Amino acid sequence: MGWPLIGETFQFFARSDSLEIPPFLRERSEKYGKIFKTSLAGRRVVVSSDPDFNHYILQQEGKLVELWYLDSFAEIIGQSTTSLKEAWNAQELHKSLKKSVYDHIGVERLKGKLVGRMEEMVGRTLDGWAGRAEAEDRGGVEVKRACSKMVMELSSNILFGHDPTKFHQHLSDMFESFTRGLLSFPLKIPGTTFHACLQSQKKILRIIMDVIEERRRRLEETAPLETPAVGRRGGGEIDLLDQLIDDARTKGFPDDKGISYLIFGLLFANAETIPSVLTLALSFLDDHPLLLHQLVKENEEILRSRGSTGGNGLTWKEYKSMSFTMNVINEALRLNGSVGIIRRTIEDVHINGYVIPKGWTIAVMPTAVHMNPDVYQDPLSFNPSRWKDIGGSTSTKNFIPFGGGMRTCVGAEYSKALMAVFLHVLVTKYRWKKVKRGRIYRAPTLQFGDGYFIHISRKND
């Protein structure tokens, strides 16, 4: 259990110099098994890389466990306030909020306009990268940071109509600072990484609150309170923020603070995962030209099959036909992993003759699950073809990049679609070459050392 108060927090943050499972998890699993106890930042925690137990726990929301975060993280994402914490854990409210979010980024929206908006945004982004890459002395484009900017521009506009041209600092830069401090030791002292994280959080929440206040003023000026939201951001289309403001009017929650934290959480979910997975995919494709050729072939076949009258934009049907592209994404998601999925016990939990007492924290570890050699042969290798043979029953318990149970990420299909659209546009219209790449490691999240830089050019240039 480590030292008093500190526990094994410092050991938890020890880095792995490769894609290997971090040493904290690997060493303790080898010694104690796939389920063991520890202490992190003053909390008693049960850590699990057991797929059957993980699956069971994630199905027990509201019965044996509840959504939970470690104290420093809870404060950052608005879970330290009792009213907000109780609200997020209220199942009916969670279902209502999840439906509101799904209505704006779910399958029906993707089938409608969202895939087209993604393709347009990706095209503009890659054109910009190609222009920047023409200057050889600038060292190329740093992929993860550039992807973060693209993802943040698209997602913030879809969620709350954010216009990045109105701000001196880009949201993606604020989230980069936020993410750096998120898993640092929680010292609220100026000059520390955690303090910078808190400052970035305040800036982001202020931007969101300013938009909420502006939207409410516009609503009061143009429509009576009993009128449903109709195009309140001026473009004739209701975004998620409009919907949440309506929910607050008709259902009494979320309030403006709750709305700001919800949008903040959705942006954060996009800010790290999608850029990391895309960077990892491009880096591995760079090392495996035969896999890249297979990816190009599948996506160019989509263009050829349209013929002369087949339209110009990627359709939902075409997206769903991209089987190898999705295998590439799944493999990058598997290798990317995540730090953990956290729950707190609200009743004693019995497992293998042991009792996890009420009030303890359970940390499900996707990275360890995704690196299980009993499920994934040669787990450190990048092998998209393995997904042809992995059935639904296997992946249900052994592939959890978007969580599980009733808290499965509502933006999972949105994230996969955006990554697929990015790869489609990239390999059909552009080519790239590596400039330089640092070491990939975990600390405990996936890091890209000194970055992954590329030069990109249009195929028809």
Place of tokens 């799904």: 102
Give pLDDT, residue 67: 78
Strand partners, 457: 431
Burial class (CB in 10 A: 0-12, 13-18, 19+), 98: middle
Give pLDDT, residue 217: 83
The residues, ordered by sequence, that sit 6+ positions from 2 with a Cβ below 8 Å of its Cβ are: 8, 9, 11, 38, 39
Tokens, residue 234:
């001026």
Give pLDDT, residue 415: 94
CB-based contact 39:361 (threshold 8 Å): no
CB-based contact 86:67 (threshold 8 Å): no
- pTM for the full model? 0.89
The residues, ordered by sequence, that sit 6+ positions from 436 with a Cβ below 8 Å of its Cβ are: 139, 140, 450, 451, 452, 453
Q: In Å, what is the CA distance from 402 to each residue of 21, 43, 120, 407, 448?
A: 19, 25, 26, 9, 21
Residue 233: pLDDT over 70:
no
What average pLDDT does range 210-229 have in this prediction? 69
Give pLDDT, residue 77: 56
Give pLDDT, residue 87: 52
Rg (CA), the chain: 22
pLDDT tens figures, 188-215: 788 787 788 888 888 888 988 988 888 8
Give pLDDT, residue 95: 75
Q: Annotated binding site, which residues?
A: 409
Confidence of residue 428 (pLDDT cuts 50, 70, 90): very high
Tokens, residue 426:
């990239």
Residue 235: pLDDT over 60:
no
**Left, alpha or beta for 449 (phi > 0: left; psi -120 to 50: alpha)?**
left
pLDDT tens figures, 84-102: 555 555 566 667 778 888 8
Give pLDDT, residue 387: 94
Residue type, 379: P
Give pLDDT, residue 93: 67
Give pLDDT, residue 375: 92
Give pLDDT, residue 278: 96
With vertex at residue 281, the alpha carbon angle to CA 276 and CA 286, rounded to the nearest 5 degrees, is 130
pLDDT tens figures, 150-194: 999 888 888 888 877 676 567 888 888 787 776 666 677 887 877
What average pLDDT does range 341-360 have in this prediction? 92
Give pLDDT, residue 83: 47
Which is higher by pLDDT, 74 or 39? 39
Tokens, residue 319:
């997206």
CB-based contact 184:312 (threshold 8 Å): no
Q: Annotated binding site for heme, which residues?
A: 409
CB neighbour burial string for 12-47, b if at least 16 within 10 angstroms, e if fewer: beeebeebebbbbbeebbeeeebbeebbbbebebbb
What average pLDDT does range 50-78 have in this prediction? 78
With vertex at residue 163, the alpha carbon angle to CA 159 and CA 166, rounded to the nearest 5 degrees, is 145
